[in-house]
Structure 1
Amino acid sequence: MTPALPSPAPSVLSEAAWQDKAAAHRDRVDRYAEPYLARRSAGKKHPVEDFLFTYYTQKPGQLSRWHPGAGAILTGASATERLGWKFYREASNAEREEAGAPAEAPGVILDVERFLELRRDAVDFARIILGRTAARPAQFGCFGLHEWAMVYKQEANAVRHEYLELRLGSGGTDRVVEENRIRCTHFDAYRFYTPQATGLNELTPTRENQRDMEQPGCLHANMDLYKWAYKLSPALPSELVMDCFELSWNIRAMDMQASPYDLAAWGYPPIRIETAAGKADYVAAQRGFSAESAVLRERLRTALDALPS
């Protein structure tokens, strides 16, 4: 495990400064959350844009809460509301003095000691999986076939997303699976394969070997940067969590464009991975997301390494 760096000196944010940051964060979240909440209230679904709120456990209300991350003292009367939030406490006199916080202003700070007491296992696992994933070479030969394997040999009325049509029909979808190598490294995709498809995958990802299988070309491993970010909140700044969210959002769109579903009417034209040109388009986009993810993965690792060991 990478040794932790010394904890940085606390910083201070005035009430006006952190209130502005919190408002900007809520606006950023609302762009994605409000349409989802409106659809949910109306009993409607969206195959692409609901995913981050239904598959992952972070709910819109949780995501919209802005956190400065470890080491920041929030000052002002409204900061004291956070004393009722999990993992916040009053800043000590020593912390306030070191940060240069006004002596007369209330100040709250993340209780890193309490956070690590309760979340140490999550922090340690995130360090391992982020570090090992970053150290492996990226693979770019999967062509998004995991989504196809999830509906392989299924009856037409039993398709995973029952309200969507298969672009090539059941028979055409099955032929694409049978005519290509299936080499998925990500357990949380592989576990949704149909029983007939599991034996076609050249690898056998499991929860136990996940830390040894994840690689930085995988769309789903890169989407999961959002998962590790929110699981480590509020120790990470919300700006970093949202950067991971937005990358995951964009990857999800591309992932479903390359899926067997016909999403053109939803505004997502297909990436036809059953053709050579479609495969090339897929790999080009996959490489771009892998490069973006490498930057975010390093930012997450840096934030984790700044926490006390």
Structure 2
Amino acid sequence: MTTLFERADWEPLAAAHAARVDTLLADHLARRQRREKHPVEDFLFTYYPTRPNQLRVWHPGPGIRLRGGTQYKEKKGYRYSEDVADLDPDEIARRTDSITWIHQLLSATAGRQPQFGCFGLHEWAMVYRTADIRHDWPLRLGSTGTDQVVESHKIACSHYDAFRFFTTPARPLNLLQPTREAQPSLEQGGCLHANMDLYKWSTKLMPFTPSSLVLDCFELARDIRTLDMRASPYDFTALGYSPIEIETPTGKATYAAAQRAFADRAGPLRLQLATLCEQLLTT
């Protein structure tokens, strides 16, 4: 079943979406204009490939047809006929394998018990016993203190795209050895990176993903990134980020509580994306 939106119906929605994007990205774009890097917030535009101008394009999602949507005429994933634009079923069919894999991952993760005992040690394992640190910022405890934290804790990272950045000496210390192939059988909803990646999957599914869902996932990823870096071995106090000292009982409790709150936020978004995949696969 489809719904036809007249121009007067959908243009205000598109404008509101663009305004929301402009508000979310204002600081990032201002820094980019000044050619100023930010080690925390730039992550959403360096690690994830979606560009700000791509986020500004409003996508209504499946089942919505847009009268007068001439700007969608040349956009990939759309078809345009008789002054009406909607999603192109041929593009959905072409991407069936990708949609199926994403659905498998999202569904498996949603059905798995979340774990809250990792304490963000993946970031510490990425700088273990190396002078080649990923960010040009000081380590809060120095190299020796950072190594001691890694060696005195159980490392239990289940996320492949975090584990693959572990230093060589840190890899054997992890209780799991994640691979890309095993990703659907390992990811769980307590993992910060698995929840941050909901933004990645929402954009991988564009233009099929409703833009409101994409931005909800973006906001979640932005907030998680802040926690991830506050709990990391880096000292970002000069940027206004107070550290979460996960090497202490108080820091561990703070981290785990925030992790649970993010898992609660991520759960409904993950289910919305899984439902979207199901809808696309039955189109």
TM-score bracket, normalised by the shorter chain, equals over 0.9
Normalising by structure 2, report the TM-score.
0.96
Q: Which has the larger radius of gyration?
A: 1
Q: Which runs of 5+ in 1 are unaligned?
A: 1-8, 93-105
Structure 2 residue aligned with 1:159: 133
* Counterpart pick for 1:122 among 98, 106, 113: 98
Structure 1 residue aligned with 2:17: 25
1:67-123 deviation per Cα after TM superposition (whole angstroms, max 9, x unaligned):
0011111113xx12211111211357xxxxxxxxxxxxx221111x22222211110
Structure 1 residue aligned with 2:117: 141
Q: Secondary structure, in 3 states, of the residue corresponding to 2:170? A: helix
For residue 22 of structure 2, what is the amino acid of its counterpart?
A: D
Q: Secondary structure, in 3 states, of the residue corresponding to 1:109? A: strand
Structure 2 residue aligned with 1:72: 64
Structure 2 residue aligned with 1:82: 72
Structure 2 residue aligned with 1:98: none
Query: 1:250: how far off?
Result: 0.5
Q: Secondary structure, in 3 states, of the residue corresponding to 2:66? A: strand
Query: 1:39: how far off?
Result: 2.2
Q: Secondary structure, in 3 states, of the residue corresponding to 1:159? A: coil
How many Å separate the matches in 1 of 2:13 and 2:186?
A: 38
Normalising by structure 1, report the TM-score.
0.88
Structure 1 residue aligned with 2:145: 172
Q: Secondary structure, in 3 states, of the residue corresponding to 2:148? A: helix
For residue 161 of structure 1, what is the amino acid of its counterpart?
A: H
How many Å separate the matches in 2 of 1:89 and 1:56?
A: 27
Q: Secondary structure, in 3 states, of the residue corresponding to 2:280? A: coil
Query: 1:159: how far off?
Result: 1.7
How many Å separate the matches in 1 of 2:252 and 2:102?
A: 32
| Identity within the alignment, % | 52
* RMSD (Å) for aligned C-alpha atoms: 1.3
Contact 1:25 1:238 in 2 (8 A): yes
Query: 1:308: how far off?
Result: 4.1
Q: Which runs of 5+ in 2 are unaligned?
A: none
How many Å separate the matches in 2 of 1:167 and 1:28?
A: 35
For residue 133 of structure 2, what is the amino acid of its counterpart?
A: V
How many Å separate the matches in 1 of 2:101 and 2:79?
A: 26
2:204 maps to 1:228: no
Mean alpha-carbon deviation: is it higher for 268-277 or for 28-37? 28-37
Q: Name the count of aligned residue pairs.
A: 282
How many Å separate the matches in 1 of 2:158 and 2:9?
A: 43
After TM superposition, list the pairs within 5 Å mapping 1:207-218 onto structure 2. 207-218=180-191
